Chains A and B, each alone.
Chain A
Amino acid sequence: MANSFSDSSDSDTPTSIHDSASTHDNGHGDVLIEDSGAGANNPSPGQRFTRLLRVAGPTTVIMVLILLSMIFIGIIEPYLAIADYKNIASGPRRSAPTIQWLFGTDNLGRSVFARVLEGIRLTFLLSVTAVVAAGIVGSFIGMAAAWYRGIFDTFIARMADVLFAFPSLIFGLIISAIIGPGSFAAIVAIFFIVLPTMVRVVRGAAIGVVNRDFVVAAQISGASTARILFKHIFPNVASVTVVQTAYLLSIGMIIESSLSFLGLGVQPPASSLGALLREGSAFLNIAPWMVLAPGAVLTLAIFCVNYVGDAARSIIEPAQPRPLE
């Protein structure tokens, strides 16, 4: 019952082919037509997977692979045999990139390649932690606001307005000053900066669901509020939450690296990509690789996250005619 809304929403909106091709192109101009009879013939997991690959398109698959390998390298990085990123004078000072030192070495002779790998790890770790936490807390608050409405809803909306209007980087800097610079401060800052977006999006999606028949039916049959929120409303806003989490992840990575770049995020010897850029910028003219390598990797990582987020949106929320609001 609870899923009737999300299941039917794909097929009961008539989509003109022209429209679906234009609003949700999948990267190579193909027309995306969702299988409307998805419920009728249950495809095996294998079939589902190949269909997913076909819908996503080759570029998305490549992006997902890059992203996964970055995360994978981030996870196994501490166990790799590459020179320890903390190892001072493991190589010559400020050596330009060579075969042995892929991204060159820094002013203390540390391998920039090893430091960049460590940086990816921290950058992902901090932003994923903060954004997932914000996703969970945000969907809870958003659903509750949509359910209770009234004063609670108004209060939440005004709080979100205030957090939105607060210049986000300055907010992060104040947080960092309050709890002391470091990884934890970065997580807290990202959490509060992305939270209002999450709350608004989930609230908006939940408001469309709270008055639907199956929710009313659940209420009449005596289901508790918690049960209604999680069993009936959450499945219908889950896709919005997932898509939004992907978007906010890239924002989280930008905030984390910005804070670290200003010296108030991750503290040495730990190094996120932003912290590496900060250190490198002092040597920009004599050892540009200290800036260019982490900068390029950071941009690539954020690009992959954004790209995969876009793809996830067009797969999870398939082509629908865009109403003129």
Chain B
Amino acid sequence: MLFIAARLGLAALTIAGVATLVFFGMRLIPGSYADLFFPLASEADREAISIEYGLDGSALEQYILWLGKLLQGDFGTSLVTNKPVIDEIVQRLPLTLELGFLALMIIAFIGFPMGIISGMFHKKWTSQVGRHSSTFLMSIPNFVLGSLLVYAFSVNSLGLKAGGWAPLSEGLMENLKYAILPAFTLSITGLGLVLATARSSVLGVIGQDHILAAVSRGLSPKDIFSKHIFRNALIPVITIFAIVAGYLLGGTVLVETVFSLDGVGRLLVNSITRRDYPVVQIGVILTATAFVLTNTIADILYGIIDPRVTEKNDG
């Protein structure tokens, strides 16, 4: 229990650090909101604009004010659209979450088994294919793959759509037509990473003495795999899977750009160029929270699967 509490405490501290960093980072960007949107406004008008949007006072004063509101659940208002920040984000969240979810599914049901197979048959060609394809998958920047897919499917679409979006409300099949290519593009790096981790983790376990002991006790290969290899190989994969899951939300920026989708990633990029401080701040905090939480959950899971972990207090 203490272990879980300590982990959650660290997670909260990290998120607070991200909130602080993004707040002051945004304030360091030269050119105020008023300069950008009302370049002809008089000095007095600018003053009024600053006060209206809570941009007057020193950065520190603004920060304390903002933090106080944030802790009370007030996420602020977009400077550009005048809508609540939370509405702007929630409106685009389903698309980004769905892409992330589909990408995770692709990674879990393609990358993981491929890694296990490539590790189990380590004397055969499967192992070399696994090794090289994982390196290759990790080497393709997702916007390169995305551009390639957009081009390839514009030549022959095969019924899939490269670009644009149909929400789930229009039916699952219609939705998947649009979602499958960007989701695959998003999954590519994680696919390689999980494949490589699963492979090397299985290879590491296979060489252990307790596997040799199990073999000499005459256990069936099936039992050895499910009781000894699979469980031990799973631990590092869970960690990597959590890291990948955390990165996916931040990684949708490029995929959404390539496939021209209106998701959270695009919103964040546009908001930075438009100096829409509140949107960037909340967006970054949410993305970081997702990352920190998945990692914390992985840490805790790790402790449950392998009780030895909780006993060590320092890595």
Q: Which residues of A contact B (CB under 8 A)?
A: 16, 18-19, 21-23, 25, 27-29, 158-159, 161-162, 164-171, 173-175, 177-178, 204, 250, 254, 257-258, 261-262, 274, 277, 280-281, 284-285, 288, 291-292, 295, 298-299, 302-303, 305-307, 310, 321-322, 324-325
Contact = CB atoms under 8 A, between A and B. Distances in A.
11 contacts: A18-B207, A22-B207, A29-B127, A158-B14, A174-B272, A258-B143, A284-B147, A285-B154, A306-B138, A321-B207, A324-B208
A166 B21 contact: yes
A18 B215 CA distance: 15
A254 B17 contact: no
Interface in B159-209: 200, 203-208
Interface in B205-224: 205-208
Contacts, number: 155
A23 B10 CA distance: 34
Interface string B141-161: 101100110110010000000
Given A21-B122, A27-B128, A322-B204, 8 more contacts: A22-B122, A158-B13, A162-B17, A169-B250, A174-B29, A284-B150, A284-B151, A321-B208
Given A261-B143, A277-B143, A324-B208, A162 B151 contact: no
A281 B291 CA distance: 30
B79 to A, nearest CB: 15
Contact of B254 (A21, A165, A177, A261): A261
Contact of B18 (A166, A258, A285): A166
B139 interface: yes
B224 to A, nearest CB: 15
Main secondary structure of the interface of B (DSSP, over half): helix
Contacts of A325: 306, 308-309
Task: Give the interface centre of B123, B140, B154, B206 by most chain A CB atoms within 10 Å.
Answer: B140
Given A173-B269, A291-B147, A23 B203 contact: yes
Nearest to B210: A324
A275 B203 CA distance: 40
A299 B135 contact: no
A25 B292 CA distance: 34
Contacts of A168: 250
B92 interface: no
Nearest to B268: A170
A162 B306 CA distance: 27
B254 A178 contact: no
A158 B9 CA distance: 12
Nearest to A204: B315
Nearest to A310: B135
B26 interface: yes
Interface string B1-44: 00000000010011101100110011011100000000000000
A291 B151 contact: yes
B147 A295 contact: yes
Interface string B262-281: 00000011001100000010
A261 B308 CA distance: 45
Nearest to A300: B139
Nearest to B258: A281
A292 B149 CA distance: 11
B23 to A, nearest CB: 11
A175 B15 CA distance: 19
A302 B141 CA distance: 9
A302 to B, nearest CB: 4
B21 A299 contact: no
Given A19-B207, A165-B15, A165-B288, A277 B144 contact: yes
B249 interface: yes
B254 A262 contact: yes
Contacts of B127: 25, 29
Task: Give the interface centre of A166, A175, A277, A284 by most chain B CB atoms within 10 Å.
Answer: A166
Contacts of A302: 139-141
Nearest to A261: B143
Contact of A254 (B135, B141, B258): B141
A252 B140 CA distance: 13
A216 to B, nearest CB: 20
B178 to A, nearest CB: 18
A303 B135 contact: yes
Given A174-B29, A204-B315, A258-B143, A165 B272 contact: no
A23 B257 CA distance: 39
Contact of B269 (A204, A262, A305): A262
Contacts of A171: 25
A167 B143 contact: no
B254 to A, nearest CB: 6
B284 A170 contact: yes
A250 B193 CA distance: 14
B232 interface: yes
Interface in B247-265: 249-251, 253-254, 257-258
A153 to B, nearest CB: 10
A292 B135 contact: no
